[in-house]
Amino acid sequence: MPIVQIELLEGRTLEQKRSLVEKVTQAIIESTGAAPEAVSIIIRDMPKENYAKAGKLASDK
């Protein structure tokens, strides 16, 4: 039972998320032999002010 957690900065559309979960699910099926029904995906949208890289908040870029 594969469980995948994906963290993204907020701003993706619902259609982009649909495409992402379809493609990730397919990759897991192909690489592990898991049934589609066994694959769970959790998407966490992170506000840009909650992520920083190189000392700069993503919201400040």
pLDDT of residue 13: 98
Is residue 2 among the annotated active site residues?
A: yes
Q: What are the structure tokens assigned to 56, written together? A: 């700069």
Residue 61 reports pLDDT greater than 90: no
pLDDT of residue 59: 95
pLDDT of residue 10: 96
Tell me the pLDDT tens digit for each residue of 7-56.
999 999 999 999 999 999 999 999 999 999 999 999 999 999 999 999 99
Q: What are the structure tokens assigned to 9, written together? A: 């900065």
Least Cα distance to 19 among 45, 48, 41 occurs for 41
Tell which wins on pLDDT, 10 or 61. Answer: 10
Catalytic residue among 2, 4, 20, 34: 2
Let me know: does 8 contact 45? Beta carbons within 8 Å.
yes
